[in-house]
Amino acid sequence: MSLDLLIKNAKVFTHAGPFEGDIGVKHGKIVKISGDIQEQADKTVNLSGKYVVPGLVDGHTHMEFPFMGEVTADDFYHGTRAAVAGGVTTIVDFITPAPGQDLMTAYKQWREKADAKVMSDYGLHMIIREINPIILEQIPEVIRNGVVSFKLFMAYKNELMLLDGQLYQLIKKISDNGGVVGIHAENGEIIYELIQQFLSEGKADPVYHYYSRPDILEIEATNRIASIASMIGKNVKMYIVHTSTGEAVDIMSEYRKKGLKFYNETTPHYLVLNTDYLTRPDGYRYIMSPPLRSDEQRTKLWYRLASGDIFTVGSDHCVYNDAQKKRYKEKVPPFHEIPNGVPGVETILPLLFGLGVKKDIISMERFVEVTSYNPAKLFGLYPKKGAILPGSDADFAVIDPNRKVRISPDLLHSNINYTIYDGLEVEGWNVMTIRRGEIVYEEGQVLGKKGSGMYIPGKLPVLV
Ligand SMILES: [Zn+2]
């Protein structure tokens, strides 16, 4: 058999440990893994000295996302271009139905938006923002179309927030159909009160975004939703998206010890940045929800990442340019008017590798688990994605483990002119990305074609 692509002399890391050798690729799939492959290949790449990991699966992106009166600056083209440059070969993006819109219409819209533009492969989650008979009836159909995970909000009152009774009904319905529930866990009612209070006192600077969303409101909401979901039964598969406190991780871990499939996702910005960034002149760029926290919380998250208590790392890539962030005003607007969201899809790899693996906080096995293996399992994409096994898609990120890089916007590919990690120094950088056997990024050059990514439907059961 002649191969399409032969990867030679790679140091390969999977969730199960490292091995050295060659990988043969045919028709976009891994067909052979061995110490020394001698077969003919159309293309051979020698990766000695480099680390090869499964292409990252970023389970949390918002491309072309309509929110807070703006649409995010990265559409599916720019966003997935940035993704492949960062070693991410699959994103899982959030379908966000408009108020009153049914789920299947929104699903079709998102497929239409994404299919023509994506460079990485992609899956989809479904946000549910309201409850009515049509929405409940469509949940099984949505799942049959490969959207096996859902996101429900306990915050953003009057926009996306659901009440406890609605959350209960939806978790039950989704779980009865085998789906996964993602929760934005913050107490939206109290946040709403705190925002009104600060505004009435003339406290409108970006740092009040943090004071209006204190740690305890994530911890309370996590505790509440975990209690509610635990009543529903053992068939619930639930994770807290973008967890920002160690305590919220511990709540889910306690339930997991009792046999429930409860997990946490965190994001790189909660591991790397702290609340001080909100006090800078460009503090408006650092507004996302939940907000950046203390160094003490950052440390707690790193420990829980290392221990395995945090299950996945997603970027929550949700990009607004400066004009959008400032609502087209000269001055920074009051904190509650600033669109929530930060870039991140392209920097998961260097941040977790450089600040986690290289600093001996997490192992390479953990790196692979949280960036590809676990999200692929959670969203029904495994073993097509998140694995280096015969039959899996030939998706790889290639890391130069010794490359020292100072992060700056000119190295990155998002449709904005800043990065929240400007000036940060890391060791280790993605130098090549292979998606279904095709080199889509190499040494600063994006080589993939617009629209060459594919929709990857999630399959039930998840977490097998
Ligand atoms: Zn999000």
Average pLDDT over residues 86-103: 97
Residues 290 and 301: their CA atoms lie apart, in Å, by 14
pLDDT confidence of 67, banded at 50, 70, 90? confident
Quote the pLDDT of residue 1: 75
User: In angstroms, what is the span from residue 402 Cα to ligand 1's centroid?
Assistant: 32
Quote the pLDDT of residue 233: 87
Residues 457 and 464: their CA atoms lie apart, in Å, by 16
Instruction: Let me know: does 343 contact 319? Beta carbons within 8 Å.
Output: yes
On the question of pLDDT at 154 being above 90, the answer is yes
Instruction: Let me know: does 324 contact 70? Beta carbons within 8 Å.
Output: yes
User: In angstroms, what is the span from residue 313 Cα to ligand 1's centroid?
Assistant: 12
Sheet holding 56-61, edge to edge: 56-61, 88-95, 121-127, 149-153, 180-184, 237-240, 261-266, 312-313
User: In angstroms, what is the span from residue 301 Cα to ligand 1's centroid?
Assistant: 18
Quote the pLDDT of residue 68: 79
User: In angstroms, what is the span from residue 343 Cα to ligand 1's centroid?
Assistant: 11
- The domains found in the chain, sorted by start residue, are 3-53+385-403+416-446 (2.30.40.10), 55-378 (3.20.20.140)
Q: Which is nearest to 58 in space by CA: 303, 301, 320, 344?
A: 344
User: In angstroms, what is the span from residue 62 Cα to ligand 1's centroid?
Assistant: 7
H or E segment to which residue 368 belongs:
helix 364-368
User: In angstroms, what is the span from residue 317 Cα to ligand 1's centroid?
Assistant: 7
Q: Which is nearest to 24 in space by CA: 16, 13, 35?
A: 35
Q: What is the dihedral of CA 12, 408, 317, 50, to 10 degrees?
A: 0
Q: What is the DSSP pairing of strand 121-127 with strand 149-153?
A: parallel
Backbone φ and ψ of 244, nearest 5° = -115, 0
Average pLDDT over residues 235-248: 98
User: In angstroms, what is the span from residue 241 Cα to ligand 1's centroid?
Assistant: 7
Q: What is the DSSP string of 203-267?
A: --STHHHHHTS-HHHHHHHHHHHHHHHHHH-TT-EEEETT---HHHHHHHHHHHHTT-EEEEEE-
User: In angstroms, what is the span from residue 316 Cα to ligand 1's centroid?
Assistant: 5
User: In angstroms, what is the span from residue 242 Cα to ligand 1's centroid?
Assistant: 7
User: In angstroms, what is the span from residue 170 Cα to ligand 1's centroid?
Assistant: 19
pLDDT confidence of 326, banded at 50, 70, 90? very high
User: In angstroms, what is the span from residue 172 Cα to ligand 1's centroid?
Assistant: 22
Token pair recorded at residue 89: 């070969």
Residues 431 and 398: their CA atoms lie apart, in Å, by 6
User: In angstroms, what is the span from residue 72 Cα to ligand 1's centroid?
Assistant: 12
On the question of pLDDT at 421 being above 80, the answer is yes
Picking from 46-50, 67-71, 386-390, which range would have the lowest pLDDT averaged per residue?
A: 67-71
User: In angstroms, what is the span from residue 153 Cα to ligand 1's centroid?
Assistant: 10
What pLDDT digit, counting tens, does each position of 73-85 carry?
A: 999 999 999 999 9
User: In angstroms, what is the span from residue 94 Cα to ligand 1's centroid?
Assistant: 8
User: In angstroms, what is the span from residue 66 Cα to ligand 1's centroid?
Assistant: 12
Residues 319 and 286: their CA atoms lie apart, in Å, by 11
